[in-house]
Amino acid sequence: MAEDHGKATQAAVRERNLTNALQLVLSGKGSATRASIARRTGLTSATVSSLLNGLIAEGLVIEGQRAESTGGKRATTLQIDAERHVLLSVIVQPGLVRGAVVNLLGDEVLTVTQRPVSAGEIADVQLVVRKLVAATQARVVAIGIQVPGIADGPLIRESVQLKWTDVNLADALAGIADAPVHLVNDADAEALADYSNSDQFGANQMFVSLSTGVGAAFIVDGALLRGAAHRAGEIGHVPVLFGPDAPACACGNRGCLEEVVSVTSLLGLPHGADLESVDLAALAERPDSRERIAFGAKVLARALLLVGAALDVPNVVLGGASPRLGDEFIGHVRAEAARHTVRAAMPLSFRYARTGSTQPFRGAAQHALHSSLGISWSL
C-alpha cells in the first residue's frame, strides 16, 4: 500500500512539473530555454531535460532557434507546437451556433457557422463540431463549449434561452471527436478571454455580458469565482422591476434584469435574435432605442452598485454585444453609478470588453486548454 502511494505521489509530482514546464514554454513565447526553465522551477537540469523531452515526444513542444549568447554555448529555444495539436471552441446562442479550430497559441485557424431553424437544437451543435473535426488534420486536445446557462461538468443544468435542463453535451458529442468536452458559461468564457488579453483592471473585476441575455462573471485575486453550485453571476433573472406592468420574462417571472438591460431588450429586438446579423449601432441611434438605453443603463448601474459593494470588486467590464451600443450607453451607466455613491465601498469603474468582437472563441478555448493541459494564455 505504501509503495503504491509513493508511486502515485511521484506521478503527481511529475505531472505538476510537466504542467509548469509547459506553462513556461507557452509564456516564454519562443524565448524559453532548458536553463531558464530550470532556474524558474528550481529543478535540476537533468529533470528539466527529461520533462521537455517528454513534451517534445508528445508533439506539444518543439525546439526553435538558438538563443542569444551569454558567453558560453548558445542555448536552444523552445516553443509550443502550433501545428500538431488544436482546440475546438464552440459558441452556442439561441439564433447562432459558431465554432472555430484554435491552435495552442490561441490563434483561430478556421471558423464555421450554423444558423438554427429553432433555438436549442443539439443537432446544430453536433453539426458544427463535425465540420470542425473534418476541417483539421491536427489532434484535437479538447473541446470548449460556451453556453448561456449554468454549466456543471458535462451538464447544462439550466439554460432559459436555449430551454435546456440537465442536458449532457458530452454524451451528445460522444463519437464525433475523441477529445474531452468542457462546458463554460458564456459570461465566464468572455471574462476569461478579456482577462487573458488585458491587465488594465488587474486581478479583481466584474464582467457583465449583455447580449440576448444577461450574465456576470467575477475574477477575484486572478481566479474565476464559481460559487457553491457553479451559479455565481446568474443575475439575469433577478427581478428589478415590480408590479403588473413589469415585462414578462421567459423564465416565468416578471421584471427580470434580462428583460430590461439585455441588448435585445434595449433595442426592441425579439428574443433569440441573431445579433451578429444586425447593425446594432444604427439601431441604438433610433429615438425609441435611446430612451430604452438610458433607462436600462440606470437600472444596470444601480444593480451593479449592490453587487460591487457585496464582493468588493469595483472594476466592471461590459461585454457581450454591449460594446456595439457605443459611448452613449456606457456613459449613462457611468453617470448613474457616480450619482449614487455607496459609503464604505469603492466607486465603480467601467470599460467595454476588448476581446469579444475580435477574438470571440478565445474564452471557451482558454477554458478547454486549462481544463485539459493545466496551462493558460493569461499567465
User: What residues does each domain of the chain span?
Assistant: 2-80, 85-190, 199-352
Distance CA 68, CA 76 (A): 9
Task: Give the class (CATH, top level) of 2-80.
Answer: mainly alpha
| Cβ neighbours around 113 below 10 Å, total | 13
Reduced 3-state DSSP string for 3-28? HHHHHHHHHHHHHHHHHHHHHHHHHH
Q: Which backbone phi and psi does 220 adopt, to 5 degrees?
A: -120, 120
What are the b/e assignments for 281-307, b being 16+ CB within 10 Å?
Answer: eebbeeeebeebbbebbbbbbebbbeb
Q: Is the fold of 85-190 the same as that of 199-352?
A: yes
**CB of 64 within 8 A of CB of 46?**
no
Show pLDDT as tens, one digit a residue, over the chain (379 residues).
555 555 668 888 999 999 999 999 999 999 999 999 999 999 999 999 999 999 999 999 999 877 665 555 678 999 999 999 999 999 998 889 999 999 999 999 999 999 988 888 999 999 999 999 999 999 999 999 999 989 888 889 989 889 999 999 999 999 898 999 999 999 999 998 888 776 667 788 899 999 999 999 999 888 888 888 888 889 999 999 999 999 999 889 999 999 999 999 999 999 878 888 889 999 999 999 999 999 999 999 999 999 999 999 989 999 999 999 999 999 999 999 999 988 888 999 999 998 767 889 999 999 999 999 999 987 5
- CATH homologous superfamily of 85-190 equals ATPase, nucleotide binding domain (3.30.420.40)
Record the pTM.
0.84
Distance CA 275, CA 284 (A): 13
Task: Give the class (CATH, top level) of 199-352.
Answer: alpha beta
